[in-house]
């Protein structure tokens, strides 16, 4: 009989998520049947997009999210006890993963897979630069923006897990990078990563900064933020600019935005889109499921070659997950935010 601690969503977040939206409970796992496995969480991930998902998750559900976990019981020959995996079964210490779930097509698994060979790097990177956020940066930037050497790239949320990787990939590809982050400490780090310009959006006029830093116009814009930031950036796009819409963290706490059927409150002004001939594309990283290890392996090679740096903001203790999650919206993390059990 395996007991699991779980964090449930018990109240619909309004505006900023709050501690009271979540409740820590215990539950007993069903028995491990033929073909099933049981895992134990080592590191859990908190990510901005979970705020968006919390809008639709039924109250009383375990909060959605990913973790690096170790197999502690197995009745499935493909998964040995002791092997490591990344799964998306939510904020829970122990998990029964059924044979049915293990054999589902990858698209239905939301990315469940063995942890890649870390070659001595921390397992927690499987939730960050060598996991979903890393591939989000790799594919979401390269495939959607199609950057060319010499082009100008705008990245916001540039000290975050995804943004900091995009900054560096853009530099590796020979682009000029103009970046924005939310504190002077973050700005300093993003400059260390090689950004040609980095501004603190809280103390800078975005439009004025772009006029000075990118008078030639922006060819590629990797957008993590959305809302007013994007409205101010849009007129600075160059003709035929490409916008990769990765996230819109500035809007996730605004329940009047990006939800429900109807609204004209987004920043992608039709006139600018038409006359500048812009291409705007949203994506979910699992569309590149079948190329997953291509991204991970390239990022790992760049890390080992010293071309790609990362930071983690590590919280300790399963009980601190909601706190770490809420902190994302107060700008508390640099790089990837994870929680070790």
Candidates 247, 295, 322, 335: give the one binding a second copy (CB under 8 A): 247
Element of type H or E holding 5: strand 3-9
Q: What is the CA radius of gyration of the chain?
A: 20
Q: How far is the CB of 208 from a second copy (least distance, A)?
A: 10
In 3D, which of 318, 317, 316 has the Cα closest to residue 6? 318
Kindly state the tokens that stand for 309. 């740096």
Kindly state the tokens that stand for 15. 């505006």
Q: How far is the CB of 38 from a second copy (least distance, A)?
A: 32
- The CA distance from 192 to 308, in Å, is 11
Residue 204 as a binder of a second copy (CB under 8 A): the answer is no
b (16+ CB within 10 A) / e for 246-282: bbbbbbbeeeebbeeeeeeeebeeeebbeebebebee
Cβ contact 92:4 at 8 Å: yes
Residue 317 as a binder of a second copy (CB under 8 A): the answer is no
Q: How far is the CB of 108 from a second copy (least distance, A)?
A: 14
Candidates 245, 303, 324, 328: give the one binding a second copy (CB under 8 A): 245
**7 or 222, CB closer to a second copy?**
222
Number of residues located near a second copy, criterion CB under 8 A: 42
In 3D, which of 123, 97, 128, 126 has the Cα closest to residue 4? 97
Q: How far is the CB of 213 from a second copy (least distance, A)?
A: 16
Q: How far is the CB of 209 from a second copy (least distance, A)?
A: 13
Site for a second copy in 37-56 (CB under 8 A): 52
DSSP string, 288-310: GGGGHHHHHHHHHHHHHTTS---
DSSP string, 88-128: ---SBSEEEE-HHHHTS-HHHHTT-EEPPP-TTS-GGGGGT
String of contacts with a second copy for each residue 263-302, x by CB under 8 A: xxxxxxxxxxxxxxxxxxxxxx--x---------------
String of contacts with a second copy for each residue 129-148, x by CB under 8 A: --------------------
Residue 57 as a binder of a second copy (CB under 8 A): the answer is no
**116 or 267, CB closer to a second copy?**
267
Q: How far is the CB of 287 from a second copy (least distance, A)?
A: 7
Q: Which residues bind a second copy (CB under 8 A)?
A: 52, 207, 226-228, 230-232, 235, 245-248, 251, 257-259, 261-284, 287
């Amino acid at each position: 009989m395996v007991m699991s601690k779980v964090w449930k969503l018990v109240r619909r977040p309004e505006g900023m998520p709050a501690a009271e939206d979540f409740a820590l409970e215990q539950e007993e796992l069903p028995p491990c049947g033929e073909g099933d496995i049981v895992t134990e969480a080592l590191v859990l991930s908190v990510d901005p997009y979970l705020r968006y998902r919390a809008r639709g998750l039924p109250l009383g559900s375990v909060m959605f999210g990913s973790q690096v976990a170790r197999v502690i019981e197995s009745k499935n020959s493909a998964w040995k006890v002791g092997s490591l995996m990344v799964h998306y079964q939510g904020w829970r210490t122990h998990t029964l993963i059924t044979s049915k779930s293990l054999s589902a097509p990858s698209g239905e698994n939301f990315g469940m897979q063995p942890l890649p060979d870390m070659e001595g790097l921390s397992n927690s990177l499987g939730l960050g630069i060598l996991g979903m956020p890393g591939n989000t940066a790799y594919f979401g930037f390269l495939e959607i923006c199609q950057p060319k050497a010499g082009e100008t790239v705008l990245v916001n949320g540039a000290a975050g897990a995804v943004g900091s990787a995009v900054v560096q990939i853009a530099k590796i590809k020979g682009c000029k990078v103009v970046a924005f982050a939310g504190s002077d400490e973050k700005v300093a780090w993003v400059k260390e990563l090689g950004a040609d310009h980095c501004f603190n959006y809280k103390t800078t006029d975005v439009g004025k900064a772009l006029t000075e830093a990118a008078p030639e116009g922006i060819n590629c814009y990797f957008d993590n933020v959305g809302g007013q930031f994007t409205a101010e950036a849009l007129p600075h796009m160059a003709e035929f600019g490409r916008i990769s819409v990765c996230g819109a963290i500035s809007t996730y706490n605004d329940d009047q935005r990006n939800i429900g059927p109807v609204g004209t409150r987004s920043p992608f002004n039709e006139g600018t889109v038409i006359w500048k001939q812009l291409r705007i594309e949203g994506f979910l990283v699992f569309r590149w499921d079948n190329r997953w290890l291509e991204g991970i392996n390239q990022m790992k090679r760049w890390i080992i070659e010293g071309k790609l740096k990362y930071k983690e903001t590590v919280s300790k203790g399963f009980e601190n997950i909601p706190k770490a999650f809420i902190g994302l919206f107060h700008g508390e993390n640099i790089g990837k935010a994870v929680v070790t059990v």
